Structures are given as structure tokens and as C-alpha cells.
Chains A and B, each alone.
Chain A
Amino acid sequence: MSSIETGKHYNQPASNLTDKVPPVDTRKYFDAVTKSLSKAKEPPTAKDAVSSQPDGSSVKSYLHIITKYTSGMELLIKDKELGLDHVFEVNPKAAPLNMKDLIKYIGETHVLEGKQSAFTRDETICPGIMVIINECDWEVMDELDYVLKNDDTIEFISTLHGG
């Protein structure tokens, strides 16, 4: 079974995919390739992807992000993944990808059908889920407005109440 899947072109309404390309492309990214961290021996990296584009004029921009799911968050993710490795082909002419975009993308693409309401709520993360950006609580890092950087690791941790 292949663990690679192609993400949606989500910033564009589905109907636009078949219509003619709009004059100014406002999509923040064109494509997203995701591998399972546990299954992939060699996760895709932005560096690899860029180096495969030798023609300087048409170099594509890539953004490599790792997402992790712990303390039960993995139960919301398709195939109960503990970690995913994403490479976004970003649109250099659009605004950069931020946490709000990432949460929306994960919610739409990787969260189990019917479990979305336990992941996102009111365009942000559900209460009770901690978001950790590079080992640091996202509250000290602009939260939804945090602009994703290459090789960032974003972790989603649900709070536990049992004992």
C-alpha cells in the first residue's frame, strides 16, 4: 500500500478546478504531498524537491512541515498516524502559509470522516488541544498567525483528564 497521497488544492473552490484558471492565482499552495513518518524510510524533503528543479527560472518553492499527534490525537487521524511528513508546493505570489492554513488543511485532508468537529472549531483548533510549534507552546508564538517555516515540527496534543 502506498502511503503517499496527494492533498487537495484546498484554497480554491472545487468548481474552479475545471473552470479556466483565474487571472491572479491567490492559492497559497498548489499541491501537498504527505508521507507517514512511521512508514516512510526517506521522507520527502524540500531540499530534495528543489534540487530536482535545475532550471533557475522555473524553480518551484517548497515548504516541508512535520506534524505529530500524541496523547490520543492520533485516534483522530486516518490510519491513526503518530506523525506525518508534508511537502507543500507553495505559491510565491500569495501570502505565506500560516498555522490557520495548516489546521484547515489537516482537518480537511487527514482527520477521519466525522471527527473534524473534534479537531477544528470556529476556524481554529478545538479547545483542549495543545498546539506545540518546535517544542514550544504556540501561545508564545503568534498562534494562528504563526508563519510556517521550512522544517517546522507542529505537534497536536490532547489534554488528558483521566486518572
Chain B
Amino acid sequence: MDNRDRISQLKARLSRIRSEELEVMAELCALEAAESSLAAPKDLADGKLSPEEIRRYSRQLLIPEIGTRGQRQLRDSSVLVVGTGGLGSPCALYLAAMGVGTLGLVDHDTVDYSNLHRQIIHTEAACGSSKVISACLGLSRLNPLCRVRAHNVLLDSSNAKEIMQGYDLVVDATDNAATRYLINDACVMLDIPLVSGSAVRLDGQLTVYNYKGGPCYRCLFPTPPPVDAMASCSETGVLGVVPGVIGCLQAMEVVKVLTGRKATEDPNLLIFSYKSQPHFRSIKLRSRKPTCAVCGDVPTVKELVDYAAFCGSGPNDNAPDWKILDDPSQRVTCTEYSRVASNPATKHLLLDVRDETQFDICSLPNSLNIPIDQFDQRLAELERAIRELDGAPVYTVCRRGNLSQLAVVYIRQKLGYGQCYDIARGLVGWQQEVDSDFPAY
């Protein structure tokens, strides 16, 4: 057998092992879920660190701020990490590595290929598998001393308190406003401190809420922002390391809360930006607001509510499908457009209205890119392109078929050109209906 054969044999074996590992973990998690109780087993009567623990955590034990006292505090604590994505991945990995005794993980999602650049607890082999199982596997490799409880569910008003009850601390590593309000309110009701992080594009934020007279999330943001002002990673992108930075800092804040250090600090909001110099800034925050709806002196929110309704958008970070064009005759399906495009005799204009960055990633052949935000500025160019059509149709396209509808409205109403249609479901639809080789992003 020559070297090359051996290499491919070994690679195949490795990928077999990797998928087998996931299967084993899934069964193990299911069995352990039925068995385990949250309370840490106190098999060491005096609570002292075992020789194994001393060896593993020795570099941390050498720091006076942690020492054996701090290490035992970490070991005897339980932390719930909600979300095992960009923030939850590094946060959970560090919490397990540093010796937090019990770690709960909540996620209902499965691993997607587009998660891997930032959600570093997951591996390529786990694509399509449950995130929670994949995360448990990552943690079990790192530190078997950490007891991990997997909650493979979507956290909502019906289960949040039951799941969160009993944890010493909750980490908000989620990706949407509705779940952030839900976690905040449940933490206030259960009197659990909340380490909250968030990251989008090139920016991140970090705060500890509901801790020692400090504010809760609602004290700062009593009203949810308008739906269209909320940026999500799936829509606006995120640099892989940015949630990594914030997730690591969340793990650090957890250590500070569990060892008592945090009690000496005033409430603050840490702001991180790739662009600013220095990268970090700390903003002094108000203390608890006596008039807060949930943590105030006379709370009006005493039970968990419908947070999707409260925020106007549900617990996911995907863009909603807009319905702007009421008249279905102003829309064509991807399949219908593919017939137009495949016939060279059919004169038409394919107008791609995404921004240049997205157009650069991938585009359909022979498309003209004028981002919808630039329609006013580039009006002459747009009008010229339409004039050259001699009445032939314009098809507008974008990523999902949302902005392309606005473009149809613009061209029909502002430019008075009736031969204008939007390609419903956009390039995502094109990839699913017409050309599976077309890149999805």
C-alpha cells in the first residue's frame, strides 16, 4: 500500500470515528438526562480539592484571587448557558475548562455549515446534528470533571423557569431580542444573576444584570426596539472572532460573580468594537430602576409573557418573509424565471438590488447590480437600462425576495414602468428550486 492510499484510508477512518462519537454522545446525553440531578455530588466530605483537581487546575490555583477557595467555589457552582452559538461556544468551553462543576446547555437548533466560522465548540462532522449534543461532546473531550446537562429544547415562557431553577447563574448567549427579555424576566423572578453578551458584525456588548442592586435588562430597555432596527448575524453578518471575544469575557464575568469579586464593581456596560481604538470601553450604568416593570418596587410583570408578541418578532435570527406585493401577478417564481433566463430570445433585464458586498459573494449571470439604497442616486442609470428594454420586462432579485418587492414598487410607482416583477424567494429560492450548485449564504 502506498502512502497516498494509507492517507485516504486514515482520513476515512477519522471521519467515521467523528460521526460515531456524536452517536455515542447522543445516547449518553439521553441516558444521563434521565439519571442526573442538579446537585453536585458531595463525595468529598471536607470539600477539599482532589489530587486530580489540583493537578488540572494548578495554574489557576496559583493566583491568589482564585486559590483553592475560588476553585472550590467554581466546582460547587452550577451555570446555565443559554445558546451554544458564537457566544455560548467559547463561554461554555472556558467554563468547563476552568472547572465550573455543573454546566447546563440550552439550544434547540442544529449545527449549520455557516455556523462553523464562529461557533467553535462544533465541528464539521456535527453539521446537521443537535447543537446541544455536539456541544456536550466538545466539553466531554475537554474536561470530564464537568457535569454537563443538555437541554435540547427551545427556551420559552412555558419551560424557562423550570429549566433555569436551581442554577447559580445564567449566561445569555442567545441571538434574538425575544429570548433576551424572556431570560431576563425569568432571572429576576428566580433571583438569579445574568451574564449577558451580544455580538453582531464587528461589535459586541457585555453586561451583568440583576446582580447586587444593579439594573436588569428591562431597567435599561423597557421597550423593545422596532423590529426593522434589530440586526441579526444571519442578515448582517458577524466576524468570527467578535462573539468569541465577548463569549470569553462572559466566562470571565461568571468567574467574578461566582468568586465574589464582581460584588465590588459598579454596574457597567462593556462595549467592544473592531473599529474603535481602544477596542474596549466601559460605560457606567444606572442601578436598579424602582419603576421597572419586572424588577421594580411594584412589578407589573409577575409571570412570563408572550415575548414574541412583546418584541414583534420570535425567537430566531432569521429575516421574516415580507408581503409587500399584494398582487401575485407582480411576482414570478424562481422556476418561472429560469425559463425566461434559459431562452436567449427573451429580452429582459435582471436587476439585482442587494448591496455590493452581497452581490460580490454570488450572483446570477447577466444581472445588473443597483442596490436598492442607491436607486435615487443612480436614477439616470436605472432609467437608461429600462429605456433600452423597449417595453421588455424587468425582473428584480435579492437574497430572499424581500427587498426585490420594494424595488418592484419603486419601478412601477415612481418610474411608472408596469413591466416589472419580483423573483419570489430570491437567490435562496433559486438555490433550492432551480440550481442546487448555486452558493447559498
A residues sitting closer than 8 Å to B (CB atoms) are 70-72, 82, 113, 117-118, 121, 126-130, 132, 135-137, 139-140, 155, 157-163
Contact = CB atoms under 8 A, between A and B. Distances in A.
A128 B230 contact: yes
Interface in B262-302: 269, 271, 273, 275-276, 281, 283-286, 289
A127 B226 contact: yes
B284 A163 contact: no
Nearest to B82: A163
A128 B175 CA distance: 15
Contact of B284 (A113, A136, A155, A159): A136
A159 B221 contact: yes
A162 B289 CA distance: 25
B251 interface: no
A109 B286 CA distance: 30
A71 B225 contact: no
Contacts of B233: 162-163
Given A70-B271, A126-B226, A127-B221, A159 B198 contact: yes
Contacts of A139: 220, 286, 289
Which are the 8 A-B pairs with shortest beta-carbon distances?
A128-B225, A127-B223, A162-B200, A160-B198, A163-B87, A162-B233, A71-B203, A163-B175
Given A160-B204, A163-B175, A82 B271 contact: no
B117 to A, nearest CB: 14
Nearest to A119: B229
Interface string B139-171: 000000000000000000000000000000000
Contacts of B246: 163
Contact of B226 (A118, A161, A162): A118
B426 interface: no
Nearest to A118: B229
Contact of A128 (B229, B273, B283): B229
Nearest to B232: A162
Contacts of A132: 283
A63 B232 CA distance: 38
B228 interface: yes
A126 B227 CA distance: 12
Contacts of B205: 71, 157, 159-160
B197 interface: yes
B283 A137 contact: yes
B283 A161 contact: no
A117 to B, nearest CB: 7
Contact of B88 (A129, A159, A163): A163
Interface of B: 83, 85-88, 173-177, 180, 197-201, 203-205, 220-226, 228-233, 236, 238, 243, 246, 269, 271, 273, 275-276, 281, 283-286, 289, 317, 376
Give the one of A71, A129, A140, A157 with max B CB within 10 A: A71
Contacts of A161: 175-177, 180, 198, 200, 230-232, 317
Contacts, number: 113
A47 B140 CA distance: 63
B199 A82 contact: no
Nearest to B204: A160
A72 B203 contact: yes
Contact of B273 (A70, A130, A163): A70
Contact of A70 (B180, B203, B228): B203
A155 B281 CA distance: 12
A13 B285 CA distance: 38
Contacts of B226: 117-118, 121, 126-128
A127 to B, nearest CB: 4
Give the one of A118, A129, A158, A160 with max B CB within 10 A: A160
A132 B275 CA distance: 19
Contacts of A128: 221, 223-226, 229-230
Contact of A82 (B238, B275, B376): B275
Contacts of B230: 128, 161
Contacts of B275: 82
A130 B317 CA distance: 22
Contacts of A118: 226, 228-229
B229 A157 contact: no
A136 B224 CA distance: 21
14 contacts: A118-B226, A128-B225, A128-B226, A128-B230, A132-B283, A137-B283, A139-B289, A140-B284, A160-B205, A161-B198, A161-B200, A162-B175, A163-B85, A163-B86
B271 A71 contact: yes
Contacts of A82: 275-276
Give the one of B88, B243, B283, B289 with max A CB within 10 A: B283
Given A70-B203, A127-B223, A163-B243, A158 B286 contact: no
B150 to A, nearest CB: 19
Contacts of B204: 160
Contacts of A72: 200-201, 203, 231
Nearest to B85: A163
B428 to A, nearest CB: 19
B114 to A, nearest CB: 13
Contacts of B243: 162-163
B413 to A, nearest CB: 16
A70 B279 CA distance: 12
Contact of A163 (B174, B228, B289): B174
Given A70-B271, A128-B224, A159-B198, A135 B231 contact: no
Contacts of A113: 376
A104 B184 CA distance: 32
